[in-house]
């Protein structure tokens, strides 16, 4: 009896960890689902920033207008066409606009789960990979951004899954090939960086599946045929419009940014370290499906290394945005490694701690602009409210930098789109609302001075009693030229200390 009881207690003890793991894992799925809702909806109503308002401005036009506006920009049309229809259906409030990106983030997470489960034939791998996608601070940040980046992440995830299914699992049925080409065709017309997804896949084929290189090249050519037909003329204009001139050339720190932006910047070191400990805990185990893991890591590495190398010649990199193309293969690789090697209780606890940390950080920063880092009190929305209080119908509103798209959005929301006479300085900023040239050299200076004199003369000819409100800065080298011209023609009244994303203060002039 004693020996029987002892062995019974031993059996119960040996099954206790599995019982605890089952309970922890059972609660993790609803916890993660609830967290995703928080990531999508908490903070969804904060004010728009420049690129978001510019997206709305472009998408609000006709199809022809969208294509024409993008020629002066550096983006491709798919997201703007989707946003065009989205606005017509759901309006242009901040939550409505951001929900489109939130849904793409949700779809990207589901895609990674589907890929992990079907490619590795393991539900736990699918859940683990989806979790790594879901808690990515890059994906969460872009889920509340009226931009194309979560759509880019979704398309990259779909392309990665179909690529692995075709070239690693050797599924040659017609449907996966059709989906693969279709997804890549849409991705090509969504963002320039999607091309690096296919470059990474090409490298993986050359290294691990060379005998299928011809099939891959044929599929890639078919994928980019719509792009060549529809967008190559506009691409030529984009390559010469200077829209990427504000981006910095390659610096070694960009490599750290590319990896750390996925999971919280400097806090990513702790995330990766914890993953490493969990993955190498059982060092004797072989990785699940090593060939597939090699394909994923090759896709990930090359798709990031090439654009970073190009940035040494032509700047095309900016932290926190474009590298979302590598998130899906990274999440799939991490998910497979964690599900295979990490002890179940330790992995569940790690997931809960990560989820709690990311949740607290998201809620804490819910009212802070993710791009400028400014609170709502320093937003363009707040500036619009102040100008509507101070300004009268017929006054002039002068933009000296990149604040026009956002203020126009909030003036339109307030039904005051015709309240002010609007002038952009330099005038080229009114052609491309999302970027500007801040350089003042010997060639450009006379042109800016002449334009400033023309604008000052026009403003001086306004009706007596009207006022001129100037959003001054942030490029003082440019905006001070206009201020000097206005001082010669108008009466300077005061400086209003209102700092925003693209201005240092508001200047008031009268006749």
What residue segments make up the domains of the chain, in order of their start?
16-364, 376-510
Cis ω before 441 (30° cut-off from 0): no
- E-strand stretches of 56-165: none
- In angstroms, the CA 437 to CA 120 distance is 49
C-beta of residue 456 within 8 angstroms of C-beta of residue 473: no
Residues whose CB falls within 8 Å of the CB of residue 138, separated by 6 or more in sequence, listed in order? 261, 262, 263, 320, 323, 324, 327
* Per-residue three-class SS string for 67-82: HHHHHCCCCCCHHHHH
Residue 493: helix, strand or coil by DSSP?
strand
Residues whose CB falls within 8 Å of the CB of residue 56, separated by 6 or more in sequence, listed in order? 48, 83, 87, 92, 97, 146, 405, 409
Residues whose CB falls within 8 Å of the CB of residue 233, separated by 6 or more in sequence, listed in order? none
Residue 105 structure tokens: 């983030």
Distances (CA, A) of 259 to 47, 279, 472: 29, 18, 37
- In angstroms, the CA 57 to CA 66 distance is 9
Residue 88 structure tokens: 């017509």
* Residue 452 φ then ψ, to 5°: -65, -40
Whole-model pTM: value is 0.92
CATH topology of domain 376-510: Rossmann fold (3.40.50)
The crossing angle, in degrees rounded to 10, of helices 78-90 and 50-59 is: 80
Q: Which of 33, 332, 314 is nearest to 156 (CA)?
A: 332
Q: Which helix (H) or strand (E) holds 468?
A: strand 467-472
Strands ordered across the beta sheet of 491-496: 421-424, 396-399, 467-472, 505-510, 491-496
Q: How far separated are the first and last CA of the chain, in Å rounded?
A: 104
pLDDT one digit per residue (tens) for the chain, 511 residues: 333 343 344 344 334 467 777 888 889 999 999 999 999 999 999 999 999 999 999 999 888 889 989 988 889 999 999 999 999 999 999 999 999 999 999 999 999 999 999 999 999 999 999 999 999 999 999 999 999 999 999 999 999 999 999 998 888 889 999 999 999 999 999 999 999 999 999 999 999 999 999 999 999 999 999 999 999 989 888 888 888 878 888 999 999 999 999 998 888 999 999 999 999 876 645 555 788 999 999 999 999 999 999 999 989 999 899 999 999 999 999 999 999 899 888 999 999 999 999 999 999 998 887 777 778 888 999 999 999 999 999 999 999 989 999 999 999 999 999 999 999 999 988 888 888 888 888 889 999 999 999 999 999 999 889 999 999 987 888 999 999 999 999 999 999 998 888 999 999 999 8
């Amino acid at each position: 009896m004693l020996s029987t009881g002892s062995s019974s207690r031993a059996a119960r003890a040996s099954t206790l960890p599995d019982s605890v793991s089952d309970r922890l894992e059972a609660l993790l799925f609803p916890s993660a689902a609830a967290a995703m809702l928080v990531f999508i909806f908490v903070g969804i109503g904060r004010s728009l920033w420049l690129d978001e308002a510019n997206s709305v401005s472009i998408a609000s036009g006709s199809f022809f207008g969208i294509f024409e506006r993008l020629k002066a920009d550096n983006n491709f049309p798919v997201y703007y066409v989707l946003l065009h229809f989205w606005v017509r259906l759901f309006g242009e409030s901040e939550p409505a606009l951001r929900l489109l990106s939130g849904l793409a983030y949700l779809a990207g997470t589901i895609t990674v789960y589907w890929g992990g489960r079907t490619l590795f034939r393991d539900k736990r791998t699918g859940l683990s990979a989806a979790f790594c996608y879901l808690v990515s601070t890059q994906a969460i940040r872009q889920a509340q951004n009226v931009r194309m980046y979560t759509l880019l992440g979704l398309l990259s995830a779909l392309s990665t899954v179909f690529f692995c299914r075709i070239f690693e699992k050797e599924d040659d049925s017609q449907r996966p090939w059709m989906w693969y080409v279709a997804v890549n065709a849409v991705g090509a017309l969504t963002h320039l960086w999607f091309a690096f997804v296919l470059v990474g896949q090409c490298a993986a084929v050359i290294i691990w599946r060379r005998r299928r290189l011809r099939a891959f090249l044929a599929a890639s050519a078919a994928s980019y045929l719509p792009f060549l037909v529809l967008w190559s003329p506009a691409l030529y204009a984009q390559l010469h419009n200077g829209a990427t001139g504000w981006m910095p050339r390659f610096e070694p720190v960009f490599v750290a940014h590319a990896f750390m932006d996925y999971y919280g910047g400097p806090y990513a070191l702790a995330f990766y370290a914890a993953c490493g400990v969990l993955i190498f805990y059982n060092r004797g185990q072989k990785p699940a499906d090593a060939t597939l893991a090699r394909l994923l890591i090759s896709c990930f590495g090359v798709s990031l290394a090439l654009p970073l190398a190009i940035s040494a010649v032509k700047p095309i990199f900016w932290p926190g945005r474009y590298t979302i193309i590598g998130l899906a293969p990274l999440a799939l690789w991490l998910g497979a490694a964690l599900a295979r090697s990490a002890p179940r209780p330790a992995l569940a606890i790690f997931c809960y701690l990560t989820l709690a940390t990311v949740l607290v950080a998201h809620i804490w920063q819910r009212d802070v602009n993710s791009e400028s880092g400014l609170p709502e009190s320093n937003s363009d929305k707040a500036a619009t409210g102040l100008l509507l209080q101070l300004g009268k119908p017929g006054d002039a509103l002068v933009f000296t930098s990149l604040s026009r798209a956002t203020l126009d959005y909030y003036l339109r929301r307030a039904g005051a789109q015709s309240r002010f006479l609007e002038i952009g300085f330099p005038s080229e900023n009114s052609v491309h609302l999302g970027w500007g040239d801040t350089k003042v050299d010997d060639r450009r200076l006379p042109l800016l001075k002449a334009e400033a004199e023309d604008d000052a003369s026009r403003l001086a000819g306004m009706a007596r009693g009207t006022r001129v409100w100037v959003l001054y800065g942030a490029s003082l080298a440019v905006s001070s030229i206009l201020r000097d011209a206005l001082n010669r023609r108008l009466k300077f009244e005061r400086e209003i200390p209102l700092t925003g994303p693209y201005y240092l203060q508001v200047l008031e002039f009268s006749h």
